[in-house]
Structure 1
Amino acid sequence: MGLVVVVLQFCVGLLALPAHLLDFLGLWKPLSQRIFPYIMRKLAVGYNEKMHSYKKELFRSLPDFAGPSGQLKVLEIGCGTGNNFQFYPQGTKVTCTDLNPNFQQFLKKSQAENDHLHYEPNLVAPAENLSAVEDASVDVVVSTLVLCSAENVERVLKEVRRILRRGGAFYFMEHVCADHSTWTYFFQQIYHPTWKFLLDGCNLCREIWKDLEKASFSEMKLKHIWAPFPWKPFRPHILGYAVK
Protein backbone atom coordinates (compact mmCIF):
# COMPACT_ATOMS: atom_id res chain seq x y z
CA MET A 1 0.00 0.00 0.00
CA GLY A 2 2.90 2.36 0.79
CA LEU A 3 4.33 2.01 -2.71
CA VAL A 4 0.92 2.64 -4.27
CA VAL A 5 0.58 5.86 -2.25
CA VAL A 6 4.03 7.06 -3.33
CA VAL A 7 3.32 6.36 -7.01
CA LEU A 8 -0.03 8.16 -6.85
CA GLN A 9 1.53 11.07 -4.97
CA PHE A 10 4.03 11.39 -7.82
CA CYS A 11 1.25 11.31 -10.44
CA VAL A 12 -0.70 14.05 -8.66
CA GLY A 13 2.49 16.04 -8.25
CA LEU A 14 2.98 16.10 -12.01
CA LEU A 15 -0.11 18.27 -12.27
CA ALA A 16 1.72 20.93 -10.27
CA LEU A 17 4.90 20.74 -12.37
CA PRO A 18 4.74 24.40 -13.53
CA ALA A 19 4.58 25.54 -9.91
CA HIS A 20 7.53 23.29 -9.01
CA LEU A 21 9.54 24.83 -11.87
CA LEU A 22 8.76 28.31 -10.52
CA ASP A 23 9.84 27.12 -7.08
CA PHE A 24 13.14 25.87 -8.54
CA LEU A 25 13.68 29.37 -9.95
CA GLY A 26 12.89 30.93 -6.57
CA LEU A 27 9.71 32.58 -7.86
CA TRP A 28 6.93 30.43 -6.42
CA LYS A 29 6.93 31.51 -2.77
CA PRO A 30 6.64 35.29 -3.35
CA LEU A 31 4.11 34.69 -6.14
CA SER A 32 1.99 32.28 -4.07
CA GLN A 33 1.93 34.67 -1.11
CA ARG A 34 0.42 37.31 -3.36
CA ILE A 35 -2.04 34.95 -5.05
CA PHE A 36 -3.14 33.02 -1.95
CA PRO A 37 -5.32 35.81 -0.45
CA TYR A 38 -7.27 36.08 -3.73
CA ILE A 39 -7.82 32.31 -3.77
CA MET A 40 -8.92 32.29 -0.14
CA ARG A 41 -11.31 35.19 -0.69
CA LYS A 42 -13.08 33.14 -3.38
CA LEU A 43 -13.03 29.86 -1.45
CA ALA A 44 -14.20 31.51 1.76
CA VAL A 45 -17.56 32.42 0.21
CA GLY A 46 -18.48 28.78 -0.44
CA TYR A 47 -16.94 27.60 2.82
CA ASN A 48 -18.94 30.07 4.90
CA GLU A 49 -22.16 29.18 3.10
CA LYS A 50 -21.77 25.48 3.89
CA MET A 51 -20.41 26.00 7.41
CA HIS A 52 -22.61 28.93 8.44
CA SER A 53 -24.81 26.95 10.82
CA TYR A 54 -21.77 25.30 12.44
CA LYS A 55 -20.05 28.65 12.95
CA LYS A 56 -23.19 30.27 14.27
CA GLU A 57 -23.60 27.54 16.86
CA LEU A 58 -19.89 27.50 17.73
CA PHE A 59 -19.66 31.24 18.39
CA ARG A 60 -23.04 31.49 20.13
CA SER A 61 -21.37 31.16 23.54
CA LEU A 62 -18.74 33.88 22.98
CA PRO A 63 -20.47 36.41 25.29
CA ASP A 64 -20.06 33.95 28.17
CA PHE A 65 -16.33 34.70 28.18
CA ALA A 66 -16.49 38.50 28.39
CA GLY A 67 -14.08 39.90 30.98
CA PRO A 68 -14.88 41.82 34.18
CA SER A 69 -15.45 45.04 32.20
CA GLY A 70 -18.24 43.36 30.25
CA GLN A 71 -16.56 43.98 26.90
CA LEU A 72 -15.38 40.90 25.02
CA LYS A 73 -11.77 41.03 23.79
CA VAL A 74 -11.09 38.64 20.91
CA LEU A 75 -7.81 37.95 19.14
CA GLU A 76 -8.10 35.99 15.90
CA ILE A 77 -5.00 34.25 14.59
CA GLY A 78 -4.66 33.77 10.85
CA CYS A 79 -7.55 36.16 10.37
CA GLY A 80 -7.22 36.08 6.58
CA THR A 81 -10.07 38.00 4.93
CA GLY A 82 -12.11 38.38 8.13
CA ASN A 83 -14.84 35.83 7.49
CA ASN A 84 -15.70 35.35 11.17
CA PHE A 85 -16.56 38.95 12.02
CA GLN A 86 -20.27 38.49 11.34
CA PHE A 87 -20.46 35.96 14.18
CA TYR A 88 -18.90 38.19 16.86
CA PRO A 89 -21.20 39.98 19.33
CA GLN A 90 -21.95 43.69 19.08
CA GLY A 91 -19.18 45.83 20.56
CA THR A 92 -16.51 43.12 20.66
CA LYS A 93 -12.95 44.47 20.62
CA VAL A 94 -11.08 42.51 17.93
CA THR A 95 -7.37 42.14 17.22
CA CYS A 96 -6.44 40.41 13.95
CA THR A 97 -3.17 38.67 13.22
CA ASP A 98 -1.90 37.02 10.04
CA LEU A 99 1.50 35.99 8.77
CA ASN A 100 0.76 37.10 5.19
CA PRO A 101 0.61 40.91 4.79
CA ASN A 102 -1.15 40.54 1.44
CA PHE A 103 -4.41 39.76 3.26
CA GLN A 104 -4.59 43.31 4.60
CA GLN A 105 -6.57 44.85 1.72
CA PHE A 106 -9.32 42.22 2.06
CA LEU A 107 -9.23 42.31 5.84
CA LYS A 108 -9.73 46.08 5.97
CA LYS A 109 -12.69 45.80 3.59
CA SER A 110 -14.30 43.19 5.83
CA GLN A 111 -13.68 45.34 8.90
CA ALA A 112 -15.43 48.28 7.24
CA GLU A 113 -18.41 46.06 6.42
CA ASN A 114 -18.65 44.80 10.01
CA ASP A 115 -18.81 48.10 11.88
CA HIS A 116 -20.60 46.53 14.86
CA LEU A 117 -17.12 45.65 16.18
CA HIS A 118 -14.20 47.69 17.52
CA TYR A 119 -10.85 46.91 15.90
CA GLU A 120 -7.38 47.15 17.33
CA PRO A 121 -4.45 47.65 14.87
CA ASN A 122 -3.86 44.55 12.75
CA LEU A 123 -0.72 42.55 13.47
CA VAL A 124 1.43 40.88 10.80
CA ALA A 125 2.92 38.01 12.78
CA PRO A 126 3.09 34.21 12.86
CA ALA A 127 0.81 32.52 15.36
CA GLU A 128 3.88 30.89 16.90
CA ASN A 129 5.20 34.31 17.98
CA LEU A 130 2.67 36.86 19.24
CA SER A 131 5.19 38.80 21.31
CA ALA A 132 3.36 42.08 20.59
CA VAL A 133 0.41 40.78 22.65
CA GLU A 134 0.65 40.97 26.45
CA ASP A 135 0.23 37.98 28.74
CA ALA A 136 -3.34 37.25 29.89
CA SER A 137 -4.70 40.20 27.89
CA VAL A 138 -7.56 38.67 25.85
CA ASP A 139 -10.77 36.84 26.70
CA VAL A 140 -10.98 34.69 23.58
CA VAL A 141 -8.58 33.51 20.87
CA VAL A 142 -10.14 32.27 17.61
CA SER A 143 -8.61 29.97 15.00
CA THR A 144 -10.48 28.71 11.93
CA LEU A 145 -8.54 26.81 9.25
CA VAL A 146 -5.22 28.03 10.64
CA LEU A 147 -3.59 25.21 12.62
CA CYS A 148 -3.49 23.06 9.48
CA SER A 149 -0.76 25.30 8.07
CA ALA A 150 1.06 26.33 11.26
CA GLU A 151 4.73 25.38 11.30
CA ASN A 152 4.50 24.29 14.94
CA VAL A 153 1.06 23.67 16.45
CA GLU A 154 2.47 23.10 19.94
CA ARG A 155 4.10 26.55 19.93
CA VAL A 156 0.91 28.16 18.64
CA LEU A 157 -1.12 26.67 21.47
CA LYS A 158 1.52 27.73 23.98
CA GLU A 159 1.16 31.31 22.74
CA VAL A 160 -2.62 31.02 22.87
CA ARG A 161 -2.50 29.97 26.51
CA ARG A 162 -0.04 32.76 27.31
CA ILE A 163 -2.21 35.58 25.96
CA LEU A 164 -5.52 34.23 27.29
CA ARG A 165 -6.62 35.43 30.71
CA ARG A 166 -7.44 32.73 33.22
CA GLY A 167 -10.92 31.48 32.41
CA GLY A 168 -10.64 32.66 28.80
CA ALA A 169 -11.28 30.35 25.86
CA PHE A 170 -9.71 29.20 22.61
CA TYR A 171 -12.30 28.67 19.87
CA PHE A 172 -11.33 26.48 16.93
CA MET A 173 -12.69 25.02 13.70
CA GLU A 174 -10.13 23.04 11.71
CA HIS A 175 -10.06 20.40 9.00
CA VAL A 176 -8.16 17.32 10.17
CA CYS A 177 -6.85 13.88 9.31
CA ALA A 178 -9.42 11.15 8.73
CA ASP A 179 -9.47 7.78 10.50
CA HIS A 180 -6.48 5.79 9.23
CA SER A 181 -8.67 2.83 8.31
CA THR A 182 -10.75 4.81 5.79
CA TRP A 183 -10.46 5.51 2.07
CA THR A 184 -10.66 9.21 2.93
CA TYR A 185 -7.33 8.95 4.74
CA PHE A 186 -5.87 6.97 1.80
CA PHE A 187 -6.72 9.83 -0.58
CA GLN A 188 -5.60 12.47 1.93
CA GLN A 189 -2.14 10.89 1.81
CA ILE A 190 -2.13 10.94 -1.99
CA TYR A 191 -3.13 14.59 -2.31
CA HIS A 192 -1.23 15.84 0.75
CA PRO A 193 2.22 16.73 -0.71
CA THR A 194 0.83 18.64 -3.68
CA TRP A 195 -1.99 20.23 -1.65
CA LYS A 196 0.52 21.43 0.96
CA PHE A 197 2.85 22.83 -1.68
CA LEU A 198 0.17 24.71 -3.60
CA LEU A 199 -1.89 25.96 -0.64
CA ASP A 200 0.67 27.70 1.54
CA GLY A 201 1.61 24.77 3.78
CA CYS A 202 -1.91 23.46 4.43
CA ASN A 203 -1.65 19.94 5.88
CA LEU A 204 -4.42 17.44 5.06
CA CYS A 205 -3.13 14.78 7.49
CA ARG A 206 -2.79 16.66 10.78
CA GLU A 207 -4.38 15.21 13.95
CA ILE A 208 -4.94 18.57 15.59
CA TRP A 209 -7.23 17.22 18.33
CA LYS A 210 -4.23 15.40 19.79
CA ASP A 211 -2.28 18.66 20.05
CA LEU A 212 -5.24 20.28 21.80
CA GLU A 213 -5.51 17.40 24.25
CA LYS A 214 -1.83 17.85 25.17
CA ALA A 215 -2.03 21.63 25.60
CA SER A 216 -3.01 21.63 29.30
CA PHE A 217 -6.32 23.47 29.01
CA SER A 218 -8.52 23.10 32.08
CA GLU A 219 -11.62 22.17 30.07
CA MET A 220 -12.34 21.33 26.46
CA LYS A 221 -15.43 20.78 24.37
CA LEU A 222 -14.44 19.19 21.07
CA LYS A 223 -16.61 17.71 18.37
CA HIS A 224 -15.68 15.74 15.24
CA ILE A 225 -17.90 16.45 12.24
CA TRP A 226 -18.13 15.41 8.61
CA ALA A 227 -18.34 18.80 6.87
CA PRO A 228 -20.74 19.13 3.89
CA PHE A 229 -18.20 19.36 1.08
CA PRO A 230 -18.17 17.24 -2.10
CA TRP A 231 -14.40 16.64 -1.89
CA LYS A 232 -14.02 13.97 0.83
CA PRO A 233 -10.36 14.60 1.84
CA PHE A 234 -11.44 18.02 3.16
CA ARG A 235 -14.54 16.83 5.00
CA PRO A 236 -13.17 15.66 8.40
CA HIS A 237 -13.33 18.65 10.77
CA ILE A 238 -13.14 19.38 14.47
CA LEU A 239 -14.72 22.32 16.25
CA GLY A 240 -15.21 23.51 19.79
CA TYR A 241 -13.46 25.52 22.48
CA ALA A 242 -10.90 24.99 25.23
CA VAL A 243 -10.80 26.95 28.48
CA LYS A 244 -7.56 28.11 30.11
Structure 2
Amino acid sequence: MVRHDHPEKDATPCRGGCADTPQPAGGGWLRRLHAWFLHVYADGYNAKVDARKRHLIGDLRGAVLEIGPGSGANIGYFAPGIRWTGVEPNPMAHPYLLRKADAAGLDATLLTGTAERLPVPDASQDAVVSTLVLCSVADPDRVLAEVRRVLRPGGRFVFIEHVGAEPGSGERRWQRRVKPVWRRLGDGCEPDRDTAGRIRAAGFARVDIEPFRMPYPIVAPHIAGRAER
Protein backbone atom coordinates (compact mmCIF):
# COMPACT_ATOMS: atom_id res chain seq x y z
CA MET A 1 0.00 0.00 0.00
CA VAL A 2 1.36 3.41 -0.96
CA ARG A 3 0.31 6.57 0.89
CA HIS A 4 1.03 9.91 -0.76
CA ASP A 5 0.90 12.49 2.00
CA HIS A 6 1.64 16.18 2.43
CA PRO A 7 3.71 17.00 5.51
CA GLU A 8 1.88 20.15 6.44
CA LYS A 9 -1.34 18.11 6.74
CA ASP A 10 -0.38 14.57 7.71
CA ALA A 11 3.08 14.35 9.24
CA THR A 12 3.49 14.01 12.98
CA PRO A 13 5.00 17.22 14.41
CA CYS A 14 8.58 16.96 15.67
CA ARG A 15 11.06 19.19 17.44
CA GLY A 16 12.31 22.08 15.34
CA GLY A 17 9.09 22.69 13.41
CA CYS A 18 9.25 19.69 11.08
CA ALA A 19 5.48 19.65 10.66
CA ASP A 20 5.53 22.92 8.76
CA THR A 21 8.06 21.77 6.16
CA PRO A 22 7.62 24.19 3.26
CA GLN A 23 6.53 22.88 -0.10
CA PRO A 24 9.34 23.27 -2.63
CA ALA A 25 8.64 25.25 -5.74
CA GLY A 26 7.02 22.84 -8.18
CA GLY A 27 6.73 22.77 -11.93
CA GLY A 28 9.22 23.97 -14.45
CA TRP A 29 10.67 22.14 -17.42
CA LEU A 30 14.00 21.57 -15.63
CA ARG A 31 12.35 19.70 -12.77
CA ARG A 32 10.36 17.64 -15.25
CA LEU A 33 13.50 16.92 -17.29
CA HIS A 34 15.45 15.97 -14.17
CA ALA A 35 12.74 13.54 -13.05
CA TRP A 36 12.70 11.91 -16.49
CA PHE A 37 16.50 11.70 -16.56
CA LEU A 38 16.58 9.98 -13.16
CA HIS A 39 14.05 7.47 -14.45
CA VAL A 40 15.97 6.53 -17.61
CA TYR A 41 19.40 6.73 -15.92
CA ALA A 42 18.57 4.51 -12.95
CA ASP A 43 18.95 1.07 -14.52
CA GLY A 44 22.36 1.78 -16.03
CA TYR A 45 23.67 3.27 -12.81
CA ASN A 46 22.23 0.46 -10.68
CA ALA A 47 23.98 -2.14 -12.84
CA LYS A 48 27.32 -0.60 -11.87
CA VAL A 49 26.61 -0.31 -8.12
CA ASP A 50 24.36 -3.34 -7.73
CA ALA A 51 26.58 -5.22 -5.26
CA ARG A 52 27.05 -2.14 -3.08
CA LYS A 53 23.32 -1.38 -2.98
CA ARG A 54 22.47 -4.99 -2.12
CA HIS A 55 25.02 -4.93 0.69
CA LEU A 56 24.01 -1.54 2.14
CA ILE A 57 20.25 -1.46 1.53
CA GLY A 58 19.15 -5.08 1.31
CA ASP A 59 19.52 -5.96 5.00
CA LEU A 60 17.77 -2.88 6.42
CA ARG A 61 14.75 -3.65 8.58
CA GLY A 62 11.95 -1.80 10.39
CA ALA A 63 11.22 1.85 9.65
CA VAL A 64 13.38 3.11 6.79
CA LEU A 65 13.44 6.72 5.60
CA GLU A 66 14.85 7.50 2.16
CA ILE A 67 15.78 11.11 1.42
CA GLY A 68 15.48 12.18 -2.20
CA PRO A 69 14.28 8.83 -3.61
CA GLY A 70 13.81 10.46 -7.03
CA SER A 71 12.23 8.06 -9.51
CA GLY A 72 12.61 5.04 -7.19
CA ALA A 73 16.01 3.68 -8.20
CA ASN A 74 16.41 1.96 -4.81
CA ILE A 75 12.92 0.47 -4.46
CA GLY A 76 13.93 -2.97 -5.70
CA TYR A 77 16.67 -3.29 -3.07
CA PHE A 78 14.52 -2.98 0.05
CA ALA A 79 13.59 -6.16 1.91
CA PRO A 80 9.92 -7.18 2.11
CA GLY A 81 8.23 -6.04 5.29
CA ILE A 82 10.03 -2.75 5.86
CA ARG A 83 8.02 0.40 6.53
CA TRP A 84 9.37 2.80 3.93
CA THR A 85 8.98 6.58 3.99
CA GLY A 86 10.30 8.72 1.14
CA VAL A 87 10.84 12.49 1.28
CA GLU A 88 11.12 13.79 -2.30
CA PRO A 89 11.18 17.53 -3.09
CA ASN A 90 10.54 17.21 -6.84
CA PRO A 91 6.84 16.51 -7.42
CA MET A 92 7.58 15.67 -11.05
CA ALA A 93 9.36 12.53 -9.83
CA HIS A 94 6.44 11.30 -7.74
CA PRO A 95 4.53 9.42 -10.48
CA TYR A 96 7.59 7.29 -11.32
CA LEU A 97 8.24 6.59 -7.65
CA LEU A 98 4.64 5.75 -6.79
CA ARG A 99 4.37 3.24 -9.64
CA LYS A 100 7.55 1.43 -8.55
CA ALA A 101 6.60 1.37 -4.87
CA ASP A 102 3.14 0.03 -5.71
CA ALA A 103 4.54 -2.65 -8.04
CA ALA A 104 6.98 -3.75 -5.32
CA GLY A 105 4.19 -4.01 -2.74
CA LEU A 106 5.99 -1.76 -0.29
CA ASP A 107 4.35 -0.49 2.87
CA ALA A 108 5.19 3.02 1.70
CA THR A 109 4.51 6.65 2.53
CA LEU A 110 5.64 9.38 0.13
CA LEU A 111 6.03 12.92 1.48
CA THR A 112 6.79 16.13 -0.37
CA GLY A 113 9.47 18.00 1.52
CA THR A 114 13.14 18.77 1.86
CA ALA A 115 15.92 16.88 3.61
CA GLU A 116 16.84 20.00 5.61
CA ARG A 117 13.49 19.72 7.44
CA LEU A 118 12.49 16.07 7.47
CA PRO A 119 8.78 15.78 8.29
CA VAL A 120 9.15 12.81 10.67
CA PRO A 121 9.50 12.64 14.47
CA ASP A 122 12.71 12.43 16.47
CA ALA A 123 14.28 8.96 16.90
CA SER A 124 11.58 7.34 14.74
CA GLN A 125 13.67 5.57 12.08
CA ASP A 126 15.76 2.42 12.15
CA ALA A 127 17.66 3.51 9.03
CA VAL A 128 18.05 6.43 6.65
CA VAL A 129 19.12 5.97 3.02
CA SER A 130 20.75 8.56 0.75
CA THR A 131 22.00 7.84 -2.78
CA LEU A 132 23.16 10.70 -5.01
CA VAL A 133 21.41 13.24 -2.78
CA LEU A 134 23.99 15.08 -0.65
CA CYS A 135 25.52 16.57 -3.80
CA SER A 136 22.41 18.67 -4.44
CA VAL A 137 20.81 19.60 -1.12
CA ALA A 138 20.98 23.27 -0.17
CA ASP A 139 22.59 22.67 3.26
CA PRO A 140 24.30 19.26 3.58
CA ASP A 141 25.37 19.86 7.20
CA ARG A 142 21.79 20.53 8.24
CA VAL A 143 20.64 17.44 6.33
CA LEU A 144 23.13 15.28 8.23
CA ALA A 145 21.94 16.80 11.50
CA GLU A 146 18.37 15.90 10.51
CA VAL A 147 19.46 12.34 9.69
CA ARG A 148 20.92 12.00 13.19
CA ARG A 149 17.79 13.51 14.73
CA VAL A 150 15.37 11.06 13.13
CA LEU A 151 17.49 7.92 13.69
CA ARG A 152 16.93 5.79 16.75
CA PRO A 153 20.01 5.08 18.92
CA GLY A 154 22.00 2.47 17.03
CA GLY A 155 20.20 3.30 13.79
CA ARG A 156 22.11 3.32 10.51
CA PHE A 157 22.64 5.93 7.83
CA VAL A 158 23.66 4.27 4.55
CA PHE A 159 24.82 6.21 1.53
CA ILE A 160 26.27 6.15 -1.97
CA GLU A 161 27.33 9.58 -3.21
CA HIS A 162 29.53 11.13 -5.86
CA VAL A 163 32.08 13.50 -4.34
CA GLY A 164 34.75 16.05 -5.09
CA ALA A 165 37.99 14.80 -6.61
CA GLU A 166 41.35 15.06 -4.86
CA PRO A 167 42.04 18.73 -3.94
CA GLY A 168 44.53 20.31 -6.34
CA SER A 169 43.97 17.68 -9.04
CA GLY A 170 43.04 18.48 -12.63
CA GLU A 171 39.81 16.56 -12.10
CA ARG A 172 38.87 18.82 -9.19
CA ARG A 173 39.59 21.91 -11.29
CA TRP A 174 37.26 20.64 -14.01
CA GLN A 175 34.55 19.97 -11.43
CA ARG A 176 34.77 23.59 -10.31
CA ARG A 177 34.79 24.95 -13.87
CA VAL A 178 31.61 23.17 -14.88
CA LYS A 179 29.81 23.58 -11.53
CA PRO A 180 27.62 26.59 -12.46
CA VAL A 181 26.14 24.83 -15.51
CA TRP A 182 26.12 21.42 -13.83
CA ARG A 183 24.20 22.82 -10.87
CA ARG A 184 21.61 24.41 -13.13
CA LEU A 185 21.01 21.32 -15.24
CA GLY A 186 21.32 18.87 -12.33
CA ASP A 187 18.67 20.33 -10.01
CA GLY A 188 21.27 21.85 -7.68
CA CYS A 189 23.97 19.17 -7.98
CA GLU A 190 27.50 20.34 -7.11
CA PRO A 191 30.21 17.93 -8.31
CA ASP A 192 33.03 19.13 -6.02
CA ARG A 193 31.55 18.68 -2.52
CA ASP A 194 33.60 17.07 0.26
CA THR A 195 30.73 14.84 1.34
CA ALA A 196 32.96 12.27 3.06
CA GLY A 197 34.44 14.98 5.29
CA ARG A 198 30.99 16.29 6.17
CA ILE A 199 29.72 12.83 7.14
CA ARG A 200 32.78 12.20 9.32
CA ALA A 201 32.27 15.55 11.06
CA ALA A 202 28.51 15.15 11.58
CA GLY A 203 28.69 13.52 15.02
CA PHE A 204 27.90 9.88 14.24
CA ALA A 205 29.17 7.25 16.69
CA ARG A 206 30.86 5.27 13.91
CA VAL A 207 31.51 5.97 10.23
CA ASP A 208 32.74 3.52 7.57
CA ILE A 209 33.44 4.95 4.11
CA GLU A 210 34.72 3.20 0.98
CA PRO A 211 35.93 5.38 -1.92
CA PHE A 212 35.48 4.06 -5.44
CA ARG A 213 35.23 5.35 -8.99
CA MET A 214 32.53 5.20 -11.66
CA PRO A 215 33.06 5.41 -15.44
CA TYR A 216 31.52 8.87 -15.77
CA PRO A 217 33.09 12.24 -16.56
CA ILE A 218 33.12 14.91 -13.82
CA VAL A 219 31.41 12.68 -11.23
CA ALA A 220 33.68 9.64 -11.32
CA PRO A 221 34.80 9.89 -7.64
CA HIS A 222 32.27 8.16 -5.38
CA ILE A 223 31.93 6.98 -1.80
CA ALA A 224 29.76 4.27 -0.25
CA GLY A 225 29.31 3.45 3.40
CA ARG A 226 27.34 3.59 6.60
CA ALA A 227 27.27 5.65 9.77
CA GLU A 228 25.76 4.69 13.11
CA ARG A 229 23.75 6.97 15.39
What CA distance in whole angstroms lies between the structure 1 residues aligned with 2:160 and 2:68? 12
What CA distance in whole angstroms lies between the structure 1 residues aligned with 2:78 and 2:150? 19
Structure 2 partner of 1:192: 179
How far the C-alpha of 1:107 sits from its partner, in A, is: 0.5
Paired letter, 1:94: W
Paired letter, 1:219: R
Structure 1 partner of 2:210: 223
Structure 2 partner of 1:42: 40
What CA distance in whole angstroms lies between the structure 2 residues aligned with 1:141 and 1:57? 15
What CA distance in whole angstroms lies between the structure 2 residues aligned with 1:223 and 1:122? 30
Structure 2 partner of 1:13: none
Paired letter, 1:226: R
Paired letter, 2:111: L
C-alpha contact (below 8 Å) 2:59/2:79 kept by paired residues: no
How far the C-alpha of 1:136 sits from its partner, in A, is: 0.5
Does residue 83 in structure 1 map to residue 73 in structure 2?
yes
What CA distance in whole angstroms lies between the structure 1 residues aligned with 2:59 and 2:104? 19
RMSD: 1.4
C-alpha contact (below 8 Å) 2:88/2:111 kept by paired residues: yes
- Rg (Cα) greater in structure: 1
How far the C-alpha of 1:61 sits from its partner, in A, is: 4.2
How far the C-alpha of 1:183 sits from its partner, in A, is: 2.4
The 10-residue stretch of structure 1 (187-196 or 142-151) with the greater mean CA deviation from structure 2: 187-196
What CA distance in whole angstroms lies between the structure 1 residues aligned with 2:160 and 2:57? 10
How far the C-alpha of 1:135 sits from its partner, in A, is: 0.6
Out of 216, 222, 229, the position equivalent to 1:237 is 222
Paired letter, 2:40: K
C-alpha contact (below 8 Å) 2:208/2:226 kept by paired residues: yes
3-state SS of 1:32 partner:
helix
Structure 2 partner of 1:18: none
C-alpha contact (below 8 Å) 1:184/1:232 kept by paired residues: no
Out of 128, 133, 136, the position equivalent to 2:116 is 128
Paired letter, 1:125: G
Paired letter, 1:205: D
What CA distance in whole angstroms lies between the structure 2 residues aligned with 1:51 and 1:159? 26
- TM-score, normalised on structure 1? 0.79
Does residue 118 in structure 1 map to residue 107 in structure 2?
yes
The 10-residue stretch of structure 1 (142-151 or 29-38) with the greater mean CA deviation from structure 2: 29-38
C-alpha contact (below 8 Å) 1:143/1:171 kept by paired residues: yes
Describe the superposition over 1:48-77 as per-residue Cα deviations: whole angstroms up to 9, x where unpaired.
Answer: 111112212222442xxx4xxxxx110000
The 10-residue stretch of structure 1 (186-195 or 153-162) with the greater mean CA deviation from structure 2: 186-195
Out of 146, 165, 177, the position equivalent to 2:164 is 177
Does residue 201 in structure 1 map to residue 210 in structure 2?
no
What CA distance in whole angstroms lies between the structure 2 residues aligned with 1:60 and 1:105? 24
Q: Percent same amino acid among aligned pairs?
A: 36
- TM-score, normalised on structure 2? 0.84
Structure 2 partner of 1:53: 51
The 10-residue stretch of structure 1 (187-196 or 210-219) with the greater mean CA deviation from structure 2: 187-196
When the two structures are aligned, how many residues end up with a matched partner?
203
The runs of at least 4 aligned residues of structure 1 exceeding 2 Å deviation read 57-62
What CA distance in whole angstroms lies between the structure 1 residues aligned with 2:57 and 2:68? 17
What CA distance in whole angstroms lies between the structure 1 residues aligned with 2:182 and 2:115? 21
Any stretches of 5+ residues in structure 2 without a counterpart? 1-26
What CA distance in whole angstroms lies between the structure 2 residues aligned with 1:96 and 1:114? 14
Any stretches of 5+ residues in structure 1 without a counterpart? 1-28, 67-71
